[in-house]
Structure 1
């Protein structure tokens, strides 16, 4: 799902189904089991949902990490900053140097793998420095049918796949 924070809304009917509530409850229980979490936060719909749910569940044991880079639109970074300020979430912005990653500038098919690996290493450093036990990102079942080499990097680094697995 590619969207912004402003796209988050209820279903057309405005109702939440029992199945959706069960999934939300499962996500909350999973987040509680992590005790503290750094959420890779792009300000898109999926990471916003994950971050808000984590904050509501774990309180101050949640941080958000957003990467500033040449490929990340400034308006999305501003949305991320505004959301975290409004919600009272500690927010860290790390610099991503995609163009300095060996091979990235040649635009290879696995460029998302290269970028995600670099990004999540930086998020891990921030999490470690802040005593955060786990990292979560907002991939979901809709992402599974697509070619997503970045998810391979996420799996290799042991990143929690909170939304996707529930």
Structure 2
């Protein structure tokens, strides 16, 4: 099935819109197919500010109004405690809020940007989507991540080369209770690195005042050479900055 065919069958839908590559393509494809697509961005301590900015820019480009839902997943103790199924409980909270708001706005169908490359066995949050009846058009149409990037490039979307971005909660070790202050420190440190031109990296909490910096092989030599500079740059957030000796696997862009 083609996306255009799917939207012809479902011309009115709400979309969980993160501002990432997958949902950006889905929004643009739906609008171009003539469907009435309402994007919703869930603002929480898990989402960095740049994601909201990207979502607003993409919605404006598509000619639609972005609706923002404020939510604190940490209000759920099963999310806050950060056990192995934290993602499931978090997704359940987020998509329950999305479905409630979408229904109030007159949208019975809720979509998300899960693509055909996403492994359900490695994504407990996908169980929550199934339970709540959320549809994933990219996955249903067999569109892989590389195809998402190719189609996005053809449509002129800047997200075609935007690195995949997992929520800030993934930077906290499983089993360590999630503290909003830790999320803010990680976001601040990652903003600093992005400002220096680094991309597709992670800053992971490793101790109360230490973090592990993971960069791709292409950037590893630079990071190693700039180790002292990076430590000084991130000192407002972490007293100790460790560089992972194992390079982060770079995601193919094309």
2:29 is the alignment partner of 1:31: no
Match of 1:70 in 2: 45
2:131 is the alignment partner of 1:156: yes
Which residue, 102, 109, 115 being the options, matches 2:77?
A: 102
Q: Once structures 1 and 2 are overlaid, which stretch shifts more, 102-111 or 155-164? A: 102-111
Match of 1:134 in 2: 109
Answer 1 or 2: higher relative contact order, Cα 8 Å, separation at least 6. 1
Q: Secondary structure at the match of 2:136?
A: coil
Which residue, 25, 36, 48 being the options, matches 2:24?
A: 48
| Contact kept? 1:62, 1:90, Cα under 8 Å | no
Structure 2: where are the runs of 5+ without partners? 142-254
Aligned length in residues:
141
- Quote the Cα distance in structure 1 between the aligned partners of 2:8 and 2:84: 37
2:65 is the alignment partner of 1:90: yes
- Quote the Cα distance in structure 1 between the aligned partners of 2:52 and 2:3: 26
The alpha-carbon deviation at position 128 of structure 1 amounts to 1.2
Query: Cα–Cα, structure 1 residues 133 and 35, in superposed 2: closer, same or farther, change >3 Å?
Result: farther
Q: Secondary structure at the match of 1:107?
A: coil
| Contact kept? 1:36, 1:134, Cα under 8 Å | yes
Counting only pairs closer than 5 Å after superposition, residues 6-25 of structure 1 correspond to structure 2 as none
Structure 1: where are the runs of 5+ without partners? 1-22
Q: Secondary structure at the match of 2:117?
A: helix
RMSD: 1.4
TM-score (norm. length: structure 2): 0.53
- Quote the Cα distance in structure 2 between the aligned partners of 1:76 and 1:97: 16
The alpha-carbon deviation at position 81 of structure 1 amounts to 1.0
Match of 2:210 in 1: none
Rg larger in 1 or in 2? 2
| Contact kept? 2:120, 2:126, Cα under 8 Å | no
TM-score (norm. length: structure 1): 0.80
The alpha-carbon deviation at position 152 of structure 1 amounts to 0.3
